[in-house]
């Protein structure tokens, strides 16, 4: 079986999920070969997994249709990269096309009659990508893909558009590679991964990292004194500019999961990928203030959708309306708030201080190992109540193989 894997180059979420499914495919059909096509951070992620992919191609230099023919591809697996789905399904000899969407529950598009009609009668050959925004393209990819997968989300958000036009969607469990075992000491992981994306500059990413590490310095030192050393993870370009006394590094995904498996605690923004990985590995999570708007939606969904059990942590986005009323400056993003906060004593200061104080209080409570175990159990129970407890990566892989009518090796 020949597989072409593609992923959107926005954060690590899409490419890590596509890679987790690819590992399952290769385990189930060992004589298969997987190739990767992507750009930006997705291309970099795949490049450091060269043992998995036979070849990694740059999407800016190679076309989907070119590789489908040249490599005799049986399956195209796309992690939230709608353009590759549209190109593959319009090919003269299309492969089986699977589309993975981990953020389906957040897409908020117009439900006017014209777009509903487009979805209902969609034809890959007639779609002009320039005529649709990104979220609409994601939904169009669902409509034209042979198999469409949605990673479950702990919330009951839904609407008539999704119910009526996306009934064939297959909702799967957390798409996480769950086979890694850690053998290192317990660490307090401070994850700042995925910061660099088209919506965030390096300067903003550095500012966020510096403020976070400053705010929790005393508590991190207390963890270190008790034998739980902080480990700060993130993009090298960002961490090279951040001064801290703690170990900083960028880990390949497999290495990260091994470190996570033996961790004492994960401190990160409300990233769905990081959250699901931690829950699957039974590690408690405390949320940092969000790095971007998607984290705000994640946090709200995780808090609202888990049977009343709140994921501990603080969120800065809740305070944005109040902050805008306090300050005359143009404040529209989290980074605007943090820049104003860093500049000095303003009306914003007590608001932001309160956010960090609440998170720090939660962290200090988790110095007690029994409290960490209790939180991990609560979070795991809450997630599994709403999501399938199955391995979503294996669910997707088995479904694709079933569609190809290929035997698998257990």
Query: What total of structural domains would you count in the chain?
Result: 2
Q: Are residues 279 and 218 in the same domain?
A: yes
**pLDDT value at position 154?**
63
Q: Are residues 266 and 289 in the same domain?
A: yes
Reference 24, options 399, 369, 282, 405; nearest CA is: 399
Q: Are residues 167 and 314 in the same domain?
A: no
- Domain CATH number, residue 115: 3.40.50.2000
Which SS3 state, helix, strand or coil, does residue 75 take?
A: strand
Q: Are residues 210 and 275 in the same domain?
A: yes
The residues, any chain, with a CB within 8 Å of residue 5's CB and separated by 6 or more, are 18, 19, 22, 34, 35, 36, 37, 46, 53, 76, 77, 78, 79
The boundaries of the domain holding residue 138 are: 2-177+391-404
**pLDDT value at position 96?**
97
Q: Are residues 155 and 264 in the same domain?
A: no
**pLDDT value at position 38?**
96
- Domain CATH number, residue 299: 3.40.50
Q: Which letter does DSSP use for residue 319 in this model?
A: G
**pLDDT value at position 222?**
98
The residues, any chain, with a CB within 8 Å of residue 80's CB and separated by 6 or more, are 7, 8, 10, 13, 14, 99, 100, 101, 102, 103, 138
**pLDDT value at position 158?**
45
HEC assignment per residue over 95-140? CEEEEEECCHHHCCCCCCHHHHHHHHCCCHHHCCHHHCCHHHHHHH
Q: Tell the burial category of 60 from Cβ atoms under 10 Å away from its Cβ (0-12, 13-18, 19+).
A: exposed
In a domain, 182, yes or no: no
Q: Are residues 120 and 192 in the same domain?
A: no
pLDDT tens, residue order, the chain (410 aa): 999 999 998 778 899 999 999 999 999 999 999 999 999 889 988 998 778 999 999 999 999 999 999 999 999 999 999 999 999 999 999 999 999 998 787 676 555 566 666 766 677 677 788 888 888 888 889 888 999 998 877 655 444 445 555 556 788 888 999 889 998 999 999 998 766 666 678 898 899 999 999 999 999 999 999 999 999 998 888 999 999 999 999 888 889 999 999 999 999 988 888 888 998 899 999 988 888 766 777 777 777 655 445 666 667 777 766 666 665 556 667 888 888 889 887 788 888 898 899 899 999 999 999 999 999 988 887 777 656 667 899 999 999 999 998 776 55
In a domain, 332, yes or no: yes
Q: Are residues 236 and 123 in the same domain?
A: no
Q: Are residues 31 and 93 in the same domain?
A: yes
Residue 80: CB atoms within 10 Å: 27
In a domain, 410, yes or no: no
Reference 57, options 47, 49, 70, 65; nearest CA is: 47
In a domain, 317, yes or no: yes
């Amino acid at each position: 079986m020949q597989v072409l894997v593609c992923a959107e180059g926005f954060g690590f979420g899409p490419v890590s999920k596509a890679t987790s499914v690819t590992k399952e495919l290769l385990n189930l059909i060992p004589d298969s070969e997987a190739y990767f096509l992507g750009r930006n951070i997705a291309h970099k992620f795949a490049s450091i997994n060269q043992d998995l992919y036979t070849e990694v191609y740059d999407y800016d230099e190679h076309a989907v249709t070119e590789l489908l023919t040249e490599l005799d591809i049986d399956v195209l697996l796309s992690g939230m990269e709608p353009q590759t789905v549209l190109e593959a399904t319009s090919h003269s000899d299309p492969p089986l096309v699977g589309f993975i969407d981990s953020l389906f529950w957040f897409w908020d598009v117009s439900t006017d009659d014209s777009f509903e009609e487009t979805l209902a009668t969609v034809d890959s050959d007639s779609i002009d990508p320039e005529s649709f925004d990104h979220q609409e393209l994601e939904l169009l990819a669902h409509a034209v893909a042979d198999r469409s997968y949605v990673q479950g989300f702990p919330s009951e958000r839904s609407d008539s558009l999704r119910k009526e036009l996306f009934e064939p969607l297959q909702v799967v469990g957390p798409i996480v590679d769950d086979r890694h075992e850690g053998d290192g000491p317990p660490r307090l992981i401070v994850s700042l991964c995925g910061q660099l994306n088209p919506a965030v500059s390096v300067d903003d990413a550095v500012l966020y990292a510096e403020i976070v590490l400053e705010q929790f310095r005393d508590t991190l030192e207390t963890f270190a004194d008790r034998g739980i050393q902080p480990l700060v993870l993130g993009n090298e370009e960002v961490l090279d500019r951040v001064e801290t006394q703690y170990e900083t590094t960028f880990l390949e995904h497999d290495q990260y999961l091994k470190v996570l498996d033996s961790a004492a605690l994960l401190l990160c923004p409300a990233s769905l990928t990081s959250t699901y990985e931690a829950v699957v590995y039974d590690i408690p999570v405390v949320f940092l203030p969000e790095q971007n708007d998607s984290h705000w939606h994640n946090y709200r969904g995780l808090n609202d959708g888990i049977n009343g059990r709140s994921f501990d942590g603080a969120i800065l986005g809740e305070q944005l309306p109040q902050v805008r009323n306090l300050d005359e400056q143009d404040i529209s993003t989290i980074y605007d708030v943090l820049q104003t906060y860093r500049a000095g004593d303003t009306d914003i200061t007590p608001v932001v201080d309160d956010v960090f104080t609440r998170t720090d209080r939660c962290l200090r409570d988790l110095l007690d190992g029994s409290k960490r175990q209790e939180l991990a159990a609560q979070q795991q129970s809450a997630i599994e109540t709403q999501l399938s407890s199955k391995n979503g990566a294996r669910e997707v892989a088995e479904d694709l193989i079933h569609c190809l009518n290929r035997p698998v090796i257990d």
